[in-house]
Amino acid sequence: MMISDLTPDLLEEILCRVPATTLCRLRSTFGLHSNLEQVDITQVLHCGGLLLCFTNNNRLVVWNPCLGETRWIHPKTTGYSSNFALGYQKNKSYHSYKILRCRHDFQLNNTSEIYEFGSDSWRVRDDIALDCKLTLPNQVSSQGNTFWLAEDRIFRNKRIVLSFDFTTERFKRFSLPKNPPSITSLSVVREEQLFFFMHCFVSNKMQVWVSDKIDNDAVVLSWSKSFKVDFQAIDRRFQSFMVDEEKKVVLCCDSCPWIRSMVYTFGEDFDSYTETPYVQSMQLDFPPFIFSYVPSLVHIQQE
């Protein structure tokens, strides 16, 4: 019997038992070719194995690289400055994916819109308008919810963690361990804990803090210092990072791609230091951003 002779239900049952990383290598065998047309991607958000991609002509497309599935999303309105997030509502048997759009005009009037994949429609939520200034492009996803570093609009020097719960469709605020006047960034590990990265320009030292396990019902986050690094040997500004807490190793890339295209790794005592060049487009609108991606067999709901 050939693979092509299998029924779609049986084929899906077989594929669900294959590790996603192995499935990526077998895409051509199973005919899982990507139907994403050739476009220039300027920004990518991710959640649960799906990528929300922004093209250079302001179009939105959701993509599962593992399965090769895509879906173009048409915004309800155009002509506004907007912030987006991809997440899902946690149901008993499946995840219902949504897109959050926080748009604002020149008078800083904020309106939130939510797109639901199941109904292929946008709805306006005036009662959940964004009231913080987000630190972009840094945002991370954990358990279907999105987390940003943000700045209070009233107390400009106060930085917080802002999250959006896609199940309750509500924003939450969490305190940071410190309120540093320096470069900061968020990362996430196994969708269980947040890492807070703080790089002080004056001392050229970096601190990595780790939160307790993320609880969707929690009203506070507890932080503890994981480790610190003194990297006076290099003069760089890092805007995104990943951490191996067990080995005390950090992976970062430059926040100024027009100066140098380099990815760095270094340990707690500045051991394991490496510099790795990477290839990039010369027309990036945003600094490069590192995130951890886990392949997924989640199907994209089609129209």
Cβ 18 vs Cβ 29: under 8 Å: no
> Reduced to 3 states, what is the DSSP secondary structure of residue 173?
strand
> How much is the average pLDDT of 80-91?
86
Amino acid at 89: Q
The rounded distance, in Å, linking the Cα atoms of 184 and 192 is: 20
Strands 95-104, 274-277: pairing is unpaired
Quick: pLDDT tens for 167-186. 999 999 998 887 766 667 88
Query: Is pLDDT larger for residue 56 or for residue 212?
Result: 212
Q: Which amino acid is located at 1 in the chain?
A: M
pLDDT attached to residue 28: 46
Residue 266: which H helix or E strand, with range? strand 262-267
Mean pLDDT of 229-250: 72
pLDDT in tens, 113-154: 999 998 999 999 888 877 788 876 678 899 899 999 888 777
**CA pair distance 67, 24, nearest whole angstrom:** 8
**pLDDT for the residue 95:** 82
pLDDT of residue 169: 93
Residue 79 is predicted with a pLDDT of: 63
Q: Pick the residue with more confidence: 162 or 192?
A: 162
29's enclosing H/E stretch is helix 27-30
Asked if residue 254 lies in contact with residue 237, where contact means CB atoms within 8 angstroms, the answer is yes
Report the predicted TM-score, pTM, of the whole model to 2 decimal places.
Answer: 0.81
Residue 179: both structure tokens together? 């309120």
Amino acid identity, residue 219?
V
Instruction: Report the percent of the chain where pLDDT is more than 90.
Output: 15
pLDDT tens digits, 27-76? 544 444 455 557 777 788 999 889 999 887 778 999 998 888 899 998 88
Query: What confidence category does residue 251 fall into, taking pLDDT thresholds of 50, 70 and 90?
Result: confident
User: Which DSSP category does 60 fall into?
Assistant: E
Between these two residues, 154 and 10, which has the higher pLDDT value? 154
pLDDT of 21: 56
pLDDT value of residue 62: 94
Candidates 2.30.30, 2.120.10, 3.10.590, 3.30.70; correct CATH number of 34-277?
2.120.10
Cα separations in angstroms, 194 against 45, 139, 156, 226: 17, 11, 23, 11
Report, as an integer, the average pLDDT of 238-266: 74
Residue (of 219, 222, 230) closest to 196 by Cα position: 222
pLDDT at 29: 44
Supply the DSSP symbol for 283: T
Q: Identify whether the C-beta of residue 240 lies closer than 8 Å to the C-beta of residue 45.
A: no
Residue 280's region, left for phi above 0, alpha for psi from -120 to 50, else beta, is beta
Residue 277: CB atoms within 10 Å: 9
Q: Residue 139 and residue 147: Cα distance in Å, rounded?
A: 6
Cα–Cα distances (Å) from 221 to 90, 163, 187, in that order, read: 21, 12, 15
Task: Give me the pLDDT at residue 72, please.
Answer: 92
For tokens 């748009």, the residue is 103
